[in-house]
Amino acid sequence: MLKIENLHATVADREVLKGLTLDIKPGEVHAIMGPNGSGKSTLSYVLAGRDGYDITEGSINFMGQDIGEMEPEERAALGLFLAFQYPVEIPGVTTTTFLKTALNAVRKARGEKELDPASFLKLQKQKLTELGMDADMLKRGVNVGFSGGEKKRNEVLQLAMLQPKLAILDETDSGLDIDALKVVADGVNALRAPDRSFLIITHYQRLLDYIKPDVVHVLAKGKIQKTGGPELALELEQKGYADFYDEAA
Amino acid sequence: MAQAAVHSFKTETLQREEAMPWLAPAAVLGGDNAPAWIAALRETGAASFAATGLPTPAWEGWQYTNLRPLTPDVFTFDAAGDVAAQDLPAPLLKDSHRIVLVNGRLRPDLGTPLPDGVKLTPLMEISEPEEELATVGSLAQSPLLALNCAYMRDGFVLDIAPHRDITRPIEILFMTAGNSPAVYPRVLYRFGENSGATLLERHAGAGAALTNLYAGLVLKAAARGRYYRFIDENGDAVHVSRTVVRSHKSSDFQGFSSVSGVAAGRQEFGLELLDSGISSSIGGVYMLKGRQSHDFTILADHFEKDGTSVQHFKGVIDDQARAVFQGKIHVRRPAQKTDGYQSHHALLLSDQAEASAKPELEIYADDVKCSHGATAGMLDTDGLFYLQSRGIPVAEAKALLVHSFLSETLEKITRDDVRALYAARIAAWLNAPVEEAAA
C-alpha cells in the first residue's frame, strides 16, 4: 500500500525528515506519535504533495507507483487522502459543491463516470446520516463558521465520500473535546476495511483509545525511532518523549 | 452617414487642438430639430471639450487611468447599425419588461409594453428639462461628460409613479451594432415618492463600440430603487459612464455592476445623500485579463444626518490587466450620525497584473462612523492545496477560489435571481459551471 524508504525532505531549505522508512500494508492502521517539531506534519504534507515540501532523497511508493513527483490531485486520484489538522475555510463555495467537485474530479481521473446530481445527493445524504451530521452544514461555505468539531467531522465526511485507499489523519484530535473525538473516531472506525489503510499522526495517545492501531511508531528528529504495538502508545503516555529527545540528540 | 465624425484615441500628447478630431462638424450635432435645451447643451459640451481635451494622468482622479493606450480603436459617431429582433439577447430574467436602445437610439419596436405606473419619455420629446437631466456636473472637470453633452442624440426619462411598487424587473438593453459605433446615451431614472422598482441595465454588443453613458437616478422620499448593471460587451468595446444617484429623505438605493468584457472602461458613480435617513449602496465585481483595464471611481456624498452609504467592490486581475478603484466618502458638516463604509479587494492572478486603489475619507461632521479597507493579494495557497488534496485539478481549484472570493460581493443583493445573473457572469469568466453561492 504505502512504502516509504529513507525519506529525506526539506521545508524552506531546512531538512526536516532525515531518513524515514515506513511500510503500511492494506487494512492496517498505523499511528505515528512524536513530540512537537519532530516532523509529523511535514510527513503528512510531503505525502500529500504540498508545494514547498521537497524530497531530497529516498522514495514514496503508493499503490505500486512512485508518487514523489506527483501533483496533490494526482495522489488523491490514486487514493491518498489527508485529513487536515487545520481544515481551510472557503467562503462562497458550499460544502455540497466542494464535495461534488472533488468526487467527480477523482472519479474522472480514475476513468469512472461522473455522478449525476441525483446519485450524488443520494450518496451524500447516506454518508451524512451514517456520520450523524446535520444537513445544514452542506449549504454553508466550506468550514466557514464551523466549530473545531464540525471542521473535523467535515474532514471525515470527505473521507467517507472519497473512499480513499489510504487516509492520513493529521492531528485530528487537536482542539476536540471528548464527545467530538468519539464522533470522529466512530466515523473513522466505520470506514475501516481490508483494503483501506490509515496513518494516524498524533501527539497524544488519547485518540488511540478510540481508533485502535495495529502498529505504533515514534517519530523524532525526522526519523522513526521506535516501532511497536498499541502498548507503545501507552508507554509514551506515561513516560513522555524525553527518551527520544536524548536518543536522537 | 457621410458626415460621420471619426473618433480616434490616437493622441500622443493631449493638446488643445487634439480635442478637435473628437468633435464633429456642427451639421452632425444639429440638424435634428432637437429641443432648444439640447442644442444649447451640445454647444456647451463641445466648447468645453475643445478647451480641455481628454483628461491626462496629471488630472485629479485620472492618475491611474490613461485613455491613450486605446490608440488603434476608431469609433464613429452615429454609425449605421441595426439589430434584428431575433438577434437580441434573451431577456436577463423571465417576466421582465424591456426597453431597448440600439447604438444609443431608443427602439420602441424592440421593447415590450411597460406596466401601469411606469412612463417612458424619449429625450427629444422633453422641452423643459429637469435639473437632473440637464445639469449633471462640471463639464470642465469631466471631459467625457462634455462629450456626452456634445453628442446628445437620444435617451429617455423613465418615471416610476409615486406609491407604486413595480414587481417585475425592467431591463434596459443598450445594444451596439455595426461598424465601431460611438454612442452617447443620456438617461434619467426617476423613482417617485415611496415607489419601488428593479432596473436591469445591460450593455451588450458583438463588436467594437464606444459607449459614453450618462445615467441619472433620482429617488424621491422613501423610494426603493434597485439598479443592477451588466456590462456584457466584448473585448473590443470601451465603456465609460457617469452615474449620479440623487437620494431624498429616507429612500433606499442598492446598485451593483459587473464588468468583464471590455478593452477599457471607467464607471463613475456619485451617490448623493441629499437628506436624512437615506441608505445608498453600490457594489461591483470586475474580471480582467489580457491587456484590459477598468476603473471604478466612486463618491458617496453625505449632505444630511443619519445616512448610510456602502461601497463594496472586488475584482480579479490576470495577465497584464490593470484595475483601478478610487473611492471617496465625503461627509458634510450637517451629516451627523453618518455611517460610511467602503471596501475594495483585488486578487492578482499574475505577476504583471496591476491594481491601484485610492481610498479617501473627507469628513467635516464630528459624530460619524466611517471605515475603509483595501487589499490586493494573490490566491491563498492553503486553500489551493486543500482543494488539490481532494483531487481537484489546479486550474479548477483556482477557479473555485476566485469564485469564492468574488461571490462574497453578491451576498447583499436582495434578489436571488439577480444574484444568480452575476454568479453566472463570474462562472462564465472562469469558464466554470454555475454553482450557487453559499449563503
What is residue B265's DSSP assignment?
E
**Closest residue in A to B383 (Cα–Cα):** A88
Half-sphere exposure of B278 (CA within 13 A, CB side): 33
pLDDT at residue B112 tops 50: yes
A-chain residues near B382 (CB < 8 A):
88
Element (H, E) at A102: helix A95-109
Look at phi and psi of residue A90 and say left if phi exceeds 0, alpha if psi is from -120 to 50, else beta. Answer: beta
Domain contains B193 = yes
Query: What pLDDT is stored for residue A157 in this prediction?
Result: 94
**Which residues have C-beta within 8 Å of that of residue A215, sequence separation ≥ 6?**
A28, A29, A30, A31, A227, A228, A229
Nearest Cα to Cα of residue B255 among B295, B224, B294, B278: B224
Band (B25; pLDDT cuts 50, 70, 90): low
User: B71 — phi, psi (to 5°)?
Assistant: -40, -50
What would the grid cell of residue A74 be? 494526482
**Closest residue in A to B407 (Cα–Cα):** A92
Helices assigned H by DSSP within A147-220: 148-162, 178-190
Mutate to test the interface with B, among A47, A74, A97, A101 (most CBs of B within 10 A): A101
Query: What pLDDT is stored for residue A176 in this prediction?
Result: 85
pLDDT at residue B321 tops 60: yes
Query: What pLDDT is stored for residue B432 in this prediction?
Result: 59
CB count in 10 Å sphere of residue B391: 31
pLDDT-above-90 percentage for chain B: 69
Nearest Cα to Cα of residue B226 among B166, B150, B146: B166
CA–CA separation, B64 and B294 (whole Å): 10
Domain contains B398 = no
Sort strands A53-62 and B74-77 into parallel, antiparallel or unpaired: unpaired
CA–CA separation, B40 and B45 (whole Å): 9
Query: What pLDDT is stored for residue B391 in this prediction?
Result: 96
**Closest residue in B to A108 (Cα–Cα):** B391
Domain contains B403 = no
**Closest residue in A to B408 (Cα–Cα):** A92
Which residue from B389, B436, B439 is facing A82, i.e. has the nearest CB?
B389
Whether the Cβ atoms of residue B188 and residue B160 lie closer than 8 Å to each other? no
Which residue from A72, A92, A139 is facing B385, i.e. has the nearest CB?
A72
Return the bridge partners of A10, or none. A15, A54
Query: What pLDDT is stored for residue B5 in this prediction?
Result: 46
Q: Cα B402 to chain center, whole Å? A: 23
Domain contains B280 = yes
B-chain residues near A82 (CB < 8 A):
389
- Render B150-178 in DSSP notation, one character per residue: HT---EEEEEEPTT-B--S-EEEEEEE-S
Query: Radius of gyration of chain A from Cα atoms?
Result: 18
Do the chains contact at B385 and A51, CB–CB below 8 Å? yes
Query: What pLDDT is stored for residue B99 in this prediction?
Result: 98
**Which residues have C-beta within 8 Å of that of residue A175, sequence separation ≥ 6?**
A148, A152
Which residue from A48, A50, A91 is facing B438, i.e. has the nearest CB?
A91
Query: What pLDDT is stored for residue B175 in this prediction?
Result: 96
Query: What pLDDT is stored for residue B33 in this prediction?
Result: 83
Whether the Cβ atoms of residue B186 and residue B214 lie closer than 8 Å to each other? yes
pLDDT at residue B17 tops 50: no
User: A180 — phi, psi (to 5°)?
Assistant: -65, -40
What would the grid cell of residue B28 be? 452632425
What is residue A162's DSSP assignment?
H
B-chain residues near A115 (CB < 8 A):
none
pLDDT at residue B35 tops 60: yes
CB count in 10 Å sphere of residue B290: 11
CA–CA separation, B343 and A101 (whole Å): 31
Domain contains B431 = no
Band (B295; pLDDT cuts 50, 70, 90): very high
What would the grid cell of residue B378 be? 494573490
Band (B15; pLDDT cuts 50, 70, 90): very low
What is residue B187's DSSP assignment?
E
CB count in 10 Å sphere of residue A231: 9
Most confident segment among A118-132, B1-15, B301-315:
B301-315
- In terms of Cβ atoms closer than 10 Å to its own Cβ (0-12, 13-18, 19+), residue B223 is buried
pLDDT at residue B195 tops 60: yes
Q: Is the dihedral of CA B52, B56, B59, B62 positive or negative?
A: positive
pLDDT at residue B80 tops 90: no
Q: Is the dihedral of CA B9, B12, B13, B19 positive or negative?
A: negative
pLDDT per residue, tens digit, chain A (249 aa), is: 999 999 999 999 999 999 999 999 999 999 999 988 889 999 999 999 999 999 999 999 999 999 999 999 999 999 999 999 999 999 888 999 999 999 999 999 989 999 999 999 999 999 998 888 888 889 889 999 998 888 999 999 999 999 999 999 999 888 888 888 888 899 899 999 999 999 999 988 889 999 999 999 999 999 999 999 999 988 888 888 877 765 443
pLDDT at residue B213 tops 80: yes
In this structure, chain A runs to a length of 249
Do the chains contact at B400 and A140, CB–CB below 8 Å? no
**B346 against B261, higher pLDDT:** B346
A-chain residues near B401 (CB < 8 A):
90
Give the A-side interface with B, CB within 8 Å: 48-51, 71-73, 75-77, 81-82, 84, 87-88, 90-94, 97-98, 101-103, 105-106, 109, 139-142, 144, 158, 162
Q: Tally the domains of chain B.
A: 1
Predicted-complex ipTM score: 0.95
Query: What pLDDT is stored for residue B236 in this prediction?
Result: 84
For residue B277, what are the domain limits? 5-379
Which residue from A75, A92, A140 is facing B408, i.e. has the nearest CB?
A92
- For residue A232, give Cα distances in angstroms to A174, A217, A224, A239: 20, 8, 13, 10
**Closest residue in A to B403 (Cα–Cα):** A92
Residues A204-219: tens digit of each pLDDT: 888 999 999 999 999 9
Domain contains B433 = no
Q: How far B409 CA lies from chain A's nearest CA (Å)?
A: 10
Query: What pLDDT is stored for residue B308 in this prediction?
Result: 98
Nearest Cα to Cα of residue B269 among B210, B311, B206: B311
pLDDT at residue B173 tops 50: yes
Determine contact: B403 vs chain A, CB below 8 A.
yes
Flag the least confident range among A59-68, A82-91, B216-225, B233-242: B233-242
Whether the Cβ atoms of residue B202 and residue B173 lie closer than 8 Å to each other? yes
What is residue A196's DSSP assignment?
B
Which residue from A94, A140, A162 is facing B390, i.e. has the nearest CB?
A162
In this structure, chain B runs to a length of 439
Q: What angle do CA B336, B341, B343 make, to 5 degrees?
A: 160
Q: Average pLDDT in the B407-436 region?
A: 86
pTM above 0.95, yes or no: no
Which residue from B391, B405, B438 is facing A106, i.e. has the nearest CB?
B391
User: A63 — phi, psi (to 5°)?
Assistant: 55, 40
Q: Is the dihedral of CA A85, B409, B401, A79 positive or negative?
A: positive
Q: Average pLDDT in the B287-309 region?
A: 96
Q: Torsion over CA of B54, B55, B58 and B62, rounded to 10 degrees?
A: -150
Domain contains B250 = yes
CA–CA separation, A43 and A8 (whole Å): 10
Determine contact: B285 vs chain A, CB below 8 A.
no
Domain contains B145 = yes
Amino acid (one-letter) located at B12: E
